[in-house]
Every structure is written in structure tokens, then in C-alpha cells.
Amino acid sequence: MTTITQIMRQSGEAFAEYRKTGPAQRALFLETIASGLEARREALTTITQEETNLPPARLNGELSRTTGQLKMFANLVREGSWVSAAIDTADGQRTPPKPDTRKMCVPLGPVVVFGASNFPYAFSTAGGDTASALAAGCTVVIRAHFAHPRTSVLVFEAMAEAVKTCGLPSHTVQHVTEPGNEAGKELVIHPLTTAVAFTGSLSGGTALMRYAHERPDPVPVFAEMSSINPVLLLPGKLKEDAAALALKMAGSITLGMGQFCTNPGLMIGIKGAELDAFQEQLAEEIGKFTPQPMLHEGIQRHYDTCTISIAAKQQVRIVADHTAMIATVAARDFLQDVHFREEVFGPYSLLVQCQDKTEMQQVMDSLKGQLTATLMATEEDLRGHAALLDSCIRTAGRVIVNEVPTGVEVCSSMVHGGPFPATSDPRFTSVGTAAIQRWVRPVCYQNFPDHLLPEALQRANPLGIWRTVNNEWTNT
Amino acid sequence: MTTITQIMRQSGEAFAEYRKTGPAQRALFLETIASGLEARREALTTITQEETNLPPARLNGELSRTTGQLKMFANLVREGSWVSAAIDTADGQRTPPKPDTRKMCVPLGPVVVFGASNFPYAFSTAGGDTASALAAGCTVVIRAHFAHPRTSVLVFEAMAEAVKTCGLPSHTVQHVTEPGNEAGKELVIHPLTTAVAFTGSLSGGTALMRYAHERPDPVPVFAEMSSINPVLLLPGKLKEDAAALALKMAGSITLGMGQFCTNPGLMIGIKGAELDAFQEQLAEEIGKFTPQPMLHEGIQRHYDTCTISIAAKQQVRIVADHTAMIATVAARDFLQDVHFREEVFGPYSLLVQCQDKTEMQQVMDSLKGQLTATLMATEEDLRGHAALLDSCIRTAGRVIVNEVPTGVEVCSSMVHGGPFPATSDPRFTSVGTAAIQRWVRPVCYQNFPDHLLPEALQRANPLGIWRTVNNEWTNT
């Protein structure tokens, strides 16, 4: 068996070549991976269904999302402006003379990607982390997730085939499949590793962060870990639309058996007839839901433990526990027990009942960092709750008005990230084109002869990319 | 005395207001600080000379650089495109419907800035860290450097005055002057602190990194710590220009008594008559240099200890130790002793003599992360040493051809940063407009009514900034 040290050395050697590939070559590579996955669609969805219990429609959708991501990064790389080129030209007349300086992003080096259990395609072997790292010019070592090993092998097969087809260094991507946690730790602490991506539990993510920080040369870890995604039910909206709102929320809470990072695990409203009506309607909708088996036994066990422990609390009333669980608690009690603020991964949501606007604000301010915060609100509600909106901005990476948090659009303006513990670093996103920024650092080239500069920085702008020249934006 | 807890609470409260200031207001604030410093120029340079031993010409230059930085950030904020706005518009026809998502950068929160000893203006109280954090919309708590306390008080006076003049929350900037290391640690671990800036020693920087990582919610530390800034003397260039090169290097090594982060502490060349000639000329130039007292006693003591320890090594020959120290060592010996790779802060440089190109590469590859790497080279040299150029890019944040590393231009394309231990995070720069990126995170606004969006994201683009709309760059 190849040791971790061998794997990382191979990744380092492949990086020395792969980082020099041009935009066209890298884009073609990403598109070839996408075609390889497409060619395996039937085999993949069959195997993955066996491994994860996820239904075919969902798996087909997720596979399309994954190939779409690969193609999006291919387009991003081909267009080229993502390198954030900035140029300041020399001025010999100035005292002291001003040098010619030109900056662009370059890839960090070998990246370790941990596959996630809840998105066996989109956040796993050839998911967004891998696609963005390869797009940036980094080599990738993938730590397969134990819950879908055969899926991971088949996806990796498509990647290895693409490496060959495109004539790239054979260790541009590598796959670590041995069981246990030790391999993961070894990968993170290896001297040649330059960055790490992880999506999973808070305990797993913080362990990786610790390993990375304790290295003689700390490296960044992008861990997406824990979020309860508060939904604020404002009074005007509840009055206007309680039934429709309940329907929407029931759909979002139970989507994919609640196994999404953006699952709305917390709803906050002000006590009264409207909130009662919403609660009643929500319980009814939840009752209609047909449950599916969860991703794997460990997740089911954890869900059971959490929901039993919540249900056992005296302060809590269970509104629905037929197939998914809706619990409700008074804001005062919520504020006194930190357990209510912890993620329950699965089809669960807690409705917090506040006395008034002030208490609603207190509940919101008691929360740690979140991936999302949602305001269900009329225009008048929004005008009357400016401080609550501020709290949402301070707390979350994405703030939503009148849409559910589940469903993360893959695009340039997406932020799938947020203050700790939602992620380890709120300055970056793991979904959308900006995800590529996690794997690069800027380098300034000073006083270089034009022909020795990377094309992105050459005087004539042969790539035609957007850049600043003496602080003016231009693509010529 | 106000406790750290009170100070951070005040900073948090001020942040809630200050983050809402518009571009014009924030720009005016930065310009008012610059005017306040200008008005105190004579008093400042007099006091700072007493405190730091730096000569008036240097201090006047550095003060202008500092007011220039403040004005640069004012212009950046007024222009507005720095928020990296990206917009993707809704598409109700798509299955599933595509939401309207809009992303921009928002400030992190209260920032703690540690003043640096070697740039009492440009990297201290109202230096680049403070200016960029205030530009981003963060409030700032400044930890005054013990080596120039009166300078720090006077600079802070200008800032406090600007806060008043501009009608900003009175705790937008605060100043912590009590002696000892404990206050610094308390500032870093306080729950309301969201980021930290530091320029100084490796031991100081790594201690702050540790405090920040050990928090229940880790926060980023931007520490600039240690760099020996290798200069590669390539054969063609030595042959062509040994005397001029020696003159240039002598100037760079002794500039400001070598008390710069970008001081060239390492020169690497291939043995031979040309390198001998260079060495001889360098020794002669260094002999002409008139030394000045160092910044403070601690720095002088450390410099003495380091140079005595280097001189005591059997493998080393001292070429010049009249006023600055030039030592020389064989590459083989250099590679066997890690002490040679450590920074000696002051007018010192080590010339490594290699047998050949291969050994030169080995020396370069043995180095840790650097702020800069310099190639003194003809065009032919550069063509013949592609692997060395690659090493420079991998190792440093700024790669320079035929100019000295001292002198850091303040502009958009500057990178003053580099892989560990040069800095704690090579993905950011502490000099130039991009320094603002350290203090922000992106937020995605989904499905917001237009009038409730920040101006930078509104449909009509009232600020006229550059942004992407459905992946196309536009400023309309």
C-alpha cells in the first residue's frame, strides 16, 4: 500500500508540473471529468443509492449539479479574470522612482479534500472542493468518505481517466481509501499539504483545524461544520400567510430527510394566534411527510439520541414527531440552555416562542455563526425590524428574505460559509465560483521582462482578462 | 483604568454604528486623520527621533507614506469597487426557479492592531493595518508599541480628534498603552475581537496565533514575522556588473540600519572570480557606511547576540564587520545548519557560495517562506534558470528582477506577505489596497427588496462601482 508520505510526495511532484498548465488545458480537464461522470451516470446512481439510501431523482439531480460545477469552473478558468490581476506601471520620473509591479493569484500547492457524507457527488470526491482546487492549479488528494466507498472509487475512476486523456501528470489527483481516522490526520499534518477542505461534523472539523494549527507551518483548513439556520417569522408575514408559510417550512425541514447543512433547525416567532395557526398547520404538513432511511446508521443513531434528549426536556413541547420532529420552547427557556443552539442533523426544527420583538432580538443575538439566516417578512416587517436584519448580517454568510434556506444556488454571488462554528473561516465560500479563492495566494512580480511574465500580467493582455492597470479597470 | 473587557465592549458598540457609515463619510474620516498627522508633523518627528533614533529625513518620508496610505484608502473607499459585488438575477422560468442573489464584502467587527517598532508611523498606531481596517468599516483597538509610547499617544490624538470632527462613535478607535504582554493576550482572546494584525518577531507572532487558535471561536491573525529575503546573484549578471551590483546591495543591506522586514539577509552566488570581485567590492562599500543607533536597546542586543554567534561559527568567514556585517559560507555548510536560515534583524547579510547551479537550487529549496525573493540576472540568466525562478514564486510573496527588495511600493499590485514564517497567512498582503481584504467577509443577500439592499448591490448601481452581473463585468 502506498503510504501517505509517498502520496503527498507524488502530489508535490505533480504540482510542479500541473501548476504550469494553461487555462485551456485546465478547463478541458474539468470538462473531461464531467463527461466521465456523465458516462457513468447509471452505474453511479445505482451504487450510490445502495450506499446512501438517497432516491434516484435526488441522486440524478445532484450528479447534474456536480457536472455543472465542473463546467462552471472550466468556464471560469477559460475566461481567466478570476486571477485578480492588478498592474501598476513604472514611473522613473518620480522620487524615488516607482517600480513596475504586477500581481496575480497563484495556486497554493497540494490540497487535501475530505469527502462529505450528505452530498456523495457535489461535496465529495469530485465535488466543489476538488473542482475548485483543480481549477486553481492545485493537485488534490481525496480522502474518500467511509459511507460511500464504492461511489468514491467509481467517481475517482472518471477523474483518473480524465488525467490520462488530458496528458496530465498521473498524480494530479489521488484517492486515499484506507479506513480509520489516522490517515486523515496524517494527510493534514504532512509537510507538503498546503490546504485542507472538509464538510462534516463540528468535532471532525475542529480536530482537523487543531492538527493544521499545530503544524510547524500552519496551513488553512476550510471546514464547514455546524449551522441551525434560524428562520425569523415576523408578525406581518404570519398574519398574511401563516398557512402558505407552514407548507413552505415543512418542505424545507424534511427535504432530503433534513440532511442538509442549510436545514432550518430553528424558527423564531412572537406568541399569539397567528403563530399558533402556523404551528398547527406545520404539524399537519409534517404529518403528511413520508420518511426515508437516513444516509447511514451513525447519522440515524445521532439523530435519535439528539431528538430523544430534546423531547425529554421539561421546557419543551413536541408539536409533531410522526416522521419528522417539530418541538417548541419559550424564548426564556431557550436562552437558558445552550443545547437548544446545537445542530440536530436530520428532519428536526425547534420553534422558539417570544414574548415580543425584544426577546426575538435576544434569541437572535444568542446564536453563534450560521450559514444562513432567513426573514419571513412583509415590507413593513422589514422596515420595523432593522436591528434584527443587522443581527442576521452579523451572524450569517447568506441572508434570505421569504425563501427557504435549503437550495444553494451554484453561482458567482453565492456565499456558502459563515462565522464560526458554521465554518472555520467566514472569509471564503465553498459553493460558487469564489470557492476557487481558497486555494490561491497573490504573488507580485516586480520589474520583470514582459516575456517572462505569466500571460495574465503581460502588457498586451493576450488573455483579454479584466484587470486593473494603474487603478483603472480594463480588459484590453 | 479602563479594562480590556470595557474597551472591547465599547469597540463592539461603536462597530454597530460605524459599520453603517457610507463611503464618503469613511473616506473623509481617513483624510481627516491624515490632515491631523500633517498638522503635528514637527512635534511628531521630534518626539519620534528621540524615541527611535531614526533620522529626520527618514521620519518625514515615513510620515508622508503614512498620510499617503490613509488617502489611498480614502480613494479606494470612495471609488467603492473594493467590496467585490457580484449579482446573479432571478430566473423564474428555470426548474427549479433561480433566486436573485447578490454578494458583497462586509466588515468583520472590532480589530486589534499591534504597533510595530521599526515603522513608528507606517506600521504602527495609524499605519496600514489601522487605515485598512477603518476603511473596511471595522473599529480598531490599537496596542501601542512600548518603544515609541509618546509617538503613539500623539498619533492617537490626531485619530481621536478626527473621530470627533467627523461625528463618529467616540470608541471607533481606542488606544491601549499599559505596559507588559498580558494586555496584548487579553485583547486577542476577548470574545468581541474578530481579527488581529501584528508586525514583529516570530516568537511574538506565533504566540498571538496560538492565542487566537485556542479561542472557542478562532479568529484570524495577520502576523508578519520573519524573512531573510534571498537575493540570487546569477552568473551573467555578476560578470556584467559586479561593481554596480555590490553598490546596490550595500545600500539595501544598510538602509535604515537594516531594520526592514525586506532587508536582504541572504545572497546566493556561484563561486569564482566574479563572485570574489563582488564580495570585495561589497566589503569596500560596507566599510564606507556610517552606522546609526538602532531602534531600541533590545534590538541592538539581539543583533549583537546573533552576529557574535554567526561569527563564532568555524564554517563562516567574516568579510566585513566594520559597521555592518557581511559573512560568507559554503553552500554545503549552509545546508547543514538551520541557524543560517534565521533572520538577523539589522545591517547583516550572508553570502552563500555554491559549487554550481544545482547547489544554488538546493540552497533556494531549503528556505522557508519569504516576503521577497530577488533575481539579479541578465535575460540569458533568466532563460537558463527557469527552475530557480519557479522556486522564487513558490517561496515568496514578491519576486523581483534586478531591483533591491527594500522599498515596498504602496499600490494595488503590491504583495507584502508570503508563506509561513514570513507571515501567518500568505493569502493576504499588509501593504497596498488589497490589505483591506483582511478585514471583511462576503455576505450573500437573497431575494431582497431593492431598497433594502446596500447601495453597492442595488439594481441601479447608484455608486457606479465595478461589479459582475450574471458573470459580466460592468460599472453601469
pLDDT for res A84:
97
For chain B, say whether A476 makes contact (Cβ under 8 Å): no
Query: B220 to chain A: which residues are within 8 Å by CB?
Result: 425, 427
Q: Is the ipTM of this structure higher than 0.95? A: yes
Task: Kindly report the nearest CA distance between residue A157 and chain B, in angstroms.
Answer: 30
Whether B224 is catalytic = yes
Q: Which of A134, A256, A146, A154 is nearest to A197 (CA)?
A: A134
Percent of chain B predicted with pLDDT > 70: 100
* Sheet with B140-143, edge to edge strand ranges: B173-176, B140-143, B111-114, B195-199, B221-224
The domains located in chain B, with CATH, are 4-225+424-474 (3.40.605.10), 230-401 (3.40.309.10)
Residue of A87, A447, A449 with shortest CB distance to B379? A449
DSSP bridge pairs for A458: none
Query: B64 to chain A: which residues are within 8 Å by CB?
Result: none
DSSP bridge pairs for A326: A320, A349
- pLDDT tens-digit map of A249-284: 999 999 999 999 999 999 999 999 999 999 999 999
CA distance B93 to A80: 30
For B100, how many CA atoms within 13 A lie in the half-sphere containing its CB? 12
- pLDDT tens-digit map of A61-70: 999 999 999 9
Query: A446 to chain B: which residues are within 8 Å by CB?
Result: 398-401, 403
Q: Give the max Cα distance, chain A.
A: 78
**pLDDT surpasses 90 at A2:** no
For chain A, say whether B454 makes contact (Cβ under 8 Å): no
Give the lowest-confidence range in A290-294, B49-53, B196-200.
Answer: A290-294
- pLDDT tens-digit map of B160-173: 999 999 999 999 99
Continuous segment of H or E residues that includes residue A441: strand A440-446
Whether A224 is catalytic = yes
Q: What distance lies between CA B415 and its chain's CA centroid?
A: 8
Quick one: three-class SS letters along chain B? CCCHHHHHHHHHHHHHHHCCCCHHHHHHHHHHHHHHHHHCHHHHHHHHHHHHCCCHHHHHHHHHHHHHHHHHHHHHHHHCHHHCCEEECCECCCCCCECCEEEEEEECCCEEEECCCCCCCCCCCCCHHHHHHHHHCCCEEEECCCCCHHHHHHHHHHHHHHHHHCCCCCCCEEEECCCCCHHHHHHHHCCCCCEEEEECCHHHHHHHHHHHHHCCCCCCEEEECCCCCEEEECHHHHHHHHHHHHHHHHHHHHHHHHCCCCCCCEEEEECCHHHHHHHHHHHHHHHCCCCCCCCCHHHHHHHHHHHHHHHCCCCCEEEECCCCEEEEEEHHHHHHCHHHHCCCCCCEEEEEEECCHHHHHHHHHCCCCEEEEEEECCHHHHHHCHHHHHHHHHHEEEEEECCCCCCCCCCCCCCCCCCCCCECCCCCCCCCHHHHHHHEEEEEEECCCHHHCCHHHCCCCCCCCCEEECCEEECC
Burial class (CB in 10 A: 0-12, 13-18, 19+), B336: exposed
**Best residue of B84, B420, B446, B457 to probe chain A, by most A CBs closer than 10 Å:** B446
For chain B, say whether A467 makes contact (Cβ under 8 Å): no
Place of cell 434528549: A309
Q: What is the dihedral of CA A176, A178, A184, A188, to 10 degrees?
A: -40
- pLDDT tens-digit map of A175-232: 999 988 899 999 999 999 999 999 999 999 999 999 999 999 999 999 999 999 999 9
At A288, the pLDDT band (50, 70, 90 cuts) reads very high
- pLDDT tens-digit map of B427-448: 999 999 999 999 999 999 999 9
For A372, how many CA atoms within 13 A lie in the half-sphere containing its CB? 29
- pLDDT tens-digit map of B62-83: 999 999 999 999 999 999 999 9
B314-322 long-range CB contacts below 8 Å, 24 or more apart?
B319/B279, B319/B282, B319/B283, B319/B351, B320/B282, B320/B283, B320/B286, B320/B287, B322/B286, B322/B287, B322/B289
Task: Kindly report the nearest CA distance between residue A109 and chain B, in angstroms.
Answer: 9
- Contact flag B399-A87 (C-beta cutoff 8 Å): no
- Contact flag B397-A441 (C-beta cutoff 8 Å): yes
Mean per-residue pLDDT of chain A: 96
pLDDT for res A354:
98
- Contact flag A442-B434 (C-beta cutoff 8 Å): yes
**pLDDT surpasses 80 at B52:** yes
* Sheet with A221-224, edge to edge strand ranges: A173-176, A140-143, A111-114, A195-199, A221-224
**pLDDT surpasses 70 at A1:** no
Continuous segment of H or E residues that includes residue A221: strand A221-224
Q: Which residue of B has its CA nearest to A465?
A: B473
Residues of A (240-299) whose Cβ lies below 8 Å from B: none
Task: Kindly report the nearest CA distance between residue A174 and chain B, in angstroms.
Answer: 22
pLDDT for res A367:
97
Q: A124: Cβ–Cβ under 8 A, 6 or more apart, which residues?
A: A115, A116, A145, A148, A151, A152, A155
What is the mean predicted confidence (pLDDT) over B312-337? Answer: 94
For B197, how many CA atoms within 13 A lie in the half-sphere containing its CB? 33
For chain B, say whether A171 makes contact (Cβ under 8 Å): no
Asked if B381 and B360 touch (Cβ cutoff 8 Å), the reply is no
pLDDT for res B180:
86
CB atoms within 10 A of CB A358: 10
Asked if B148 and B177 touch (Cβ cutoff 8 Å), the reply is no
Place of cell 418542505: A251
For A147, how many CA atoms within 13 A lie in the half-sphere containing its CB? 21
**pLDDT surpasses 90 at B109:** yes
Q: B61: Cβ–Cβ under 8 A, 6 or more apart, which residues?
A: none
| Residue A101 to residues A418, B11, B52, Cα–Cα distance (Å) | 34, 37, 31
Residues of A (339-398) whose Cβ lies below 8 Å from B: 368-369, 379, 382, 389-390, 393-394, 396-398
- Contact flag B412-A452 (C-beta cutoff 8 Å): no
Residues of A (207-236) whose Cβ lies below 8 Å from B: 209-210, 213, 217-218, 220
| Residue B127 to residues A255, B49, B63, B253, Cα–Cα distance (Å) | 51, 17, 9, 24
- pLDDT tens-digit map of A308-361: 999 999 999 999 887 799 999 999 999 999 999 999 999 999 999 999 999 999
- Contact flag A368-B473 (C-beta cutoff 8 Å): no
**pLDDT surpasses 90 at B321:** no
- pLDDT tens-digit map of B334-389: 999 999 999 999 999 999 999 999 999 999 999 999 999 999 999 999 999 999 99
Instruction: Phi first, then psi: give them for residue A474, nearest 5 degrees.
Output: -155, 150
Q: Report residue A226 as a C-alpha cell.
A: 455546524
**pLDDT surpasses 80 at B129:** yes
pLDDT for res A241:
87
**pLDDT surpasses 80 at B2:** no
At B295, the pLDDT band (50, 70, 90 cuts) reads very high
Task: Kindly report the nearest CA distance between residue B98 and chain A, in angstroms.
Answer: 7
Task: State the helix-helix crossing angle for A235-254 and A273-287, rounded to 10 degrees.
Answer: 20
- pLDDT tens-digit map of A454-469: 999 999 999 999 999 9
Q: Give the max Cα distance, chain B.
A: 78
pLDDT for res A157:
98
Task: Kindly report the nearest CA distance between residue B414 and chain A, in angstroms.
Answer: 6
For chain B, say whether A426 makes contact (Cβ under 8 Å): yes
Written as one letter, the residue type at A187 is: L
Written as one letter, the residue type at A160 is: A
CA distance B161 to B288: 45
**pLDDT surpasses 70 at B455:** yes
**pLDDT surpasses 70 at B1:** no
- Contact flag A414-B444 (C-beta cutoff 8 Å): yes
CA distance A267 to A340: 12
Asked if B303 and B66 touch (Cβ cutoff 8 Å), the reply is no
At B323, the pLDDT band (50, 70, 90 cuts) reads confident
CA distance B260 to B256: 7
pLDDT for res A378:
96
